[in-house]
Amino acid sequence: MPEPRATFGARLASAVEQWGSLCVGVDPHPSLLEAWGLDDTPEGLRRFSHTVLDAVSGRVSVIKPQVALFERHGSRGFAVLEDLLARSAANGLLTIADAKRGDIGSTMAGYADAWLRDGSALAADAITLSPYLGFESLRPALTAARESGRGVFVLALTSNPEGASVQHVGGENSVAQRIVRAAAQENLADGPGSVGLVIGATAGKAVRELRLELESLNGPILAPGVGAQGAGRRELDAAFAGVSGVVLPNSSREILRAGPDVSALKEAVEATQNALRTPAEAGSGTD
């Protein structure tokens, strides 16, 4: 019998200790493929993915493939994603499949089976989930993740301006606040929890206004919005001061624009890591 895998929260914490917290997004936008001199085809996606993998392996702890940008190419795009997930695991990189799944419980089980089950071709270390159908509707994914040592990141306070119309309404009892509380309940056991949240790196003001109880989460936070969406170290500090768990700033386009040269991509990764380590006063962007 193989040893059961350690929890995602524990695996993530030790990877972050070794490689730092930057999460590089693998977002093969058609415009980036073109800029890299690649065709907008499954073969273009494959070459894009392998180049990113070459540049980030041994440099970061975690990558986040954006599923829609593979899905655009149908079954052949999914085959490239499967290959990327397998190669990442072989290279010691953790993967967050950015699929933003959410459904009624009975069919949510199908998504959980696809993304969070040992032996599934699409299995990643964690997946992003949308709680619009109610946090409890995500239960099949929460259970599958717990049973297989995987994790989830539930959207709480997203980086896009439209999110506010749903997530911020209700003040201290906002949807975002209730998602934070529900996730914290899942992470009550000892050790770092595996039920994470997505909170945009750009969301600092809302984090404070809604008085999100992030200190009690005991789980990781995925913070997209670094670089192309304007967030830097200052915005991360503004949003997550006082949070003791792992915060994973994600940057996709700003790093990927440095490709297709692998050395240039490596430099872009390092530059981002350094900028996020620089004291807050040196941060860029807006609150």
Catalytic residues: 100
Q: Shortest distance, CB of residue 124 to ligand OMP, whole angstroms? A: 13
Per rule CB under 6 A, is residue 21 in the interface with ligand OMP? no
> Please, which of residues 231-260 interact with ligand OMP by CB under 6 A?
250-253
Q: Work out which of 224, 245, 249, 260 binds ligand OMP, going by CB under 6 A.
A: 224
CB of 31 to ligand OMP, least distance (A): 11
Q: How far is the CB of 98 from ligand OMP (least distance, A)?
A: 5
Render 230-262 in DSSP notation, one character per residue: SB-HHHHHHHHTT--S-EEEEE-HHHHTT-SSH
Q: How many angstroms separate the CA atoms of 258 and 253, rounded?
A: 9
Q: Report in angstroms how near the CB of residue 118 gets to ligand OMP at its nearest.
A: 24
Please tell me the count of residues contacting ligand OMP according to CB under 6 A: 20
Among 9, 27, 60, 236, interactor with ligand OMP by CB under 6 A: 27
Chain positions 169 to 198 lying near ligand OMP, rule: CB under 6 A, are 198
Provide, rounded to whole angstroms, the least separation between the CB of residue 12 and ligand OMP: 15
Choose, by CB under 6 A, the member of 49, 51, 158, 272 that binds ligand OMP: 158
Only one of the segments 6-14, 108-116, 158-166, 234-242 lies at the binding site for ligand OMP (rule: CB under 6 A); that segment is 158-166
Comparing CA positions, the residue from 93, 20, 12 lying closest to residue 56 is 93
Q: Nearest distance from residue 22's CB to ligand OMP, in Å?
A: 11
Q: Out of 25, 192, 193, 196, which residue is the one contacting ligand OMP (CB under 6 A)? A: 25
Stretch of 31-39, 189-197, 227-235, 261-269 contacting ligand OMP, by CB under 6 A = 227-235
Residue 227 sits in the site that holds ligand OMP (CB under 6 A): yes
Residues in the chain: 287
Among positions 81-100, residues that touch ligand OMP (CB under 6 A) are 98, 100
The residues pairing with 248 across neighbouring beta strands, listed in sequence order, are 222
Is residue 128 near ligand OMP by the rule CB under 6 A?
yes
User: Which residue, chain included where needed, has tokens 């493939």?
Assistant: 65
User: What residues line the site for ligand OMP (CB under 6 A)?
Assistant: 25, 27, 66, 98, 100, 128, 158-160, 198, 200, 224-225, 227-229, 250-253
